[in-house]
Structure 1
Amino acid sequence: MPMIPPELLPFTRKAFPCDIQTLKDNLRQDDMNDVRRLSGRDPEEALRRGCLRSSPCVTFFMPGKPEQPVGMGGVVPPGIAWVLFHKDFLKTKKERDVFLKACPLVRNWFLSRSVGGFMHNVTLRENKRIRRWLRWLGAQELPDTGRGPIHFYFTKNKEDNRHV
């Protein structure tokens, strides 16, 4: 497991199998929809496969509560990024503040772990919240072909990502 950068340690730790058990039945509905329709797997299987194949695979938590996961994510080589969150996460201002602070840091670390500084993510067309979030993070949305999921990519180039 790659070492987690010090700036991420207040809200990020190595993922463990028990985190899968905590999150599998409690994903946000739009994350659940993506998992089922894009991977064809149930949430437990998708989280397990993500955990096994990602380098890194981490669990996110609120500062001071590492035993209470609010999400998991990772990079599946060469550069497929994924993050899934608990349905009760982001309900308070404090959670939203931690999330907004963490996002660019996690994105930059994931990019540093990807091959060639390139990452890919995909979501369903109807997941407007996720699409807005990915664009806010600096991902480029590929043109919608009208025939399936929406693809996004991140690169390390500052011209391509405003927050990198």
Structure 2
Amino acid sequence: MSLQMIAIILGLLGTVGGLAGIFRPDLIKRFAEIFPRSTVPAWLFTALCCILGAREASGMNMGVVDVIKPYIPFIAVGVFVASVIYMKELLAPRALGGFLCLIAVPICKTAAQSGSPFFQVVTAVMYLAVIFGIIILMSPWYFRKIYAPVIENELLFKGTAIAKTIVGVLILILGIFVY
């Protein structure tokens, strides 16, 4: 996928999320309330993590253990099944954190290799996603701790939604006109 397409997708996600926060804050607040204990998003993000992890493992040089590369898809399926069955603390924020950490790898690689001006904007956004991902991967209860002050304070909530919309539009403009 090209940097242009990545920036357009990120820009659309940011803009739609920000506009939802501006015009339908009740939906965002309800989602933030039910998300942490949801199992379906946890399984979905875990599956995406297994796919991304398998993709990255297949592409890396493993030296003497390169012989396991043909088995990586099967290992990924096994990891998914074991995670769903045996991981008692497979929470949606934890799985989201893992996904944010893993999705940043191909995006940052694409941005760095693109040679496009301002590729650092997408890279900076992904680094912020990785920082947030690490926090909620290691301590999923921080998901609520981070969002609670924003959700409880109406002025802060609106300001955050407006800022997210502005950043989303800027990334969208970069994706359409620069990259």
Whose RCO is larger (CA < 8 A, sep 6+)? 2
TM-score by length of 1: 0.31
TM-score by length of 2: 0.30
More helix by share: 2
- Higher-Rg structure is 2
